[in-house]
Amino acid sequence: MSNQTTLDIQHDPLNPDPWLALALDKSTFFEQSAKDALLRNNGTWSRRILLPIIRPFARVMIALTRFVRLFIPRTLTSSKMLHKLICWGMTNFVSRDANYLILRHFTMGSQVLRFLNDNLADGQLSSRPLKPYKIKDLEDNFFVQHDLNIYNFITELGIYLQDKELRSLSKAISDIDFSAIEDFNDRIEALPNKWHNFLDLQSAIELYTPLFAFFLSREDFERASNSLQLDETVAIYAATLFEKTEILSLVNNKHPMVPLSTIEAGFRLMLHGVDAENLYGFIKYIRDNS
């Protein structure tokens, strides 16, 4: 789908474009700009040609690193170096659409956690919002902090609800505070779009995942990998608040008490991104249609 929008592509009934069909589909809560970026990403030569080569190589590297980490679980770790390498790669090789989706992810996550904090815990939970509007912002430990934010939110919310002995989390729409959910696309600074910014999102994620395994301790990498299964946990809180469960059919990176293999962390990270977009879009949909 090059850099076209969905409206630029003509539908051919004898040769339908699969990405156009999904871009026009209204069964999910994806914001259209993000959906267009993801589906353009899916149609790139990088994803078609490089991803099948990169993915098995990356998974072998994760397996080897995990084996080494059995013996040196915390030696030679550096979150600072990890984030500098990721940002260098994003600036020089990752496509504009992929970088846009990565930057969106952190801001959306911070807004959703603040929204739930405001409405389920009266804003009493600790928070460290992450709102990157340029690639360099991510160097400040954003990838690791993103995972910590999710775990801290779920843990502190559990303690809060237990202390309050709350039985019902649902609220009337008129009592729900949507102030945390703000449009932010126009705040994202211009992203690199040179000839060497060709790498699609999935290929970039598959390449970055072994770096996480190498530069993070065994415990930190396992925690980061397992956090990818917490999407549905967060979505359940939102669904309970609204008393609307349809979002759970779209946000279903399931069963965090049965952790999946870290070998597939790259693929599950893509699912995590899709889940986050749908949950964020769902909250915005309720806000705009209530």
- pLDDT at residue 1 greater than cutoff 50: no
Q: Which two tokens stand for residue 263?
A: 């070998």
Q: What does the pLDDT look like over 11-32, one tens digit per residue?
A: 888 898 888 888 889 999 999 9
pLDDT digits (tens, 9 = 90+) for 39-69: 999 989 999 999 999 999 999 999 999 999 9
In a domain, 207, yes or no: yes
pLDDT score recorded for residue 4? 54
Residue type at position 71: F
What is the reported pLDDT for 255? 86
Report CA Rg, the chain: 19
Q: What is the pTM of this model?
A: 0.93
Give the mean model confidence (pLDDT) for residues 142-159.
96
pLDDT of residue 278: 97
Question: In the predicted model, what is the mean pLDDT of the chain?
Answer: 93
- Degrees (nearest 5) of the Cα angle 48, 53, 55? 95
Residue-wise pLDDT for 85-136, tens only, equals 999 999 999 999 999 999 999 999 999 999 999 999 999 999 999 999 999 9
Separation CA 276–CA 142 (nearest Å): 16
Q: What is the pLDDT of residue 168?
A: 67
By the 8 A CB rule, do 241 and 286 touch?
A: no
Q: Does residue 2 surpass a pLDDT of 50?
A: no
pLDDT given at position 52: 97
Give how many domains the chain has, as a whole number: 1
Q: Rounded CA gap, 234 and 164, in Å? A: 19
* Domain presence at residue 1: no
Domain hosting residue 238, numbered range: 6-288
Residue 170: predicted pLDDT: 87
Q: Is residue 268 part of a domain?
A: yes
At residue 200, does pLDDT exceed 70? yes
Residue 288: how many CA atoms within 13 Å on its side-chain side? Answer: 11
CB of 120 within 8 A of CB of 157?
yes
Nearest to 96 by CA among 24, 36, 51: 36
Q: What is the dihedral of CA 192, 193, 199, 205, to 10 degrees?
A: 30
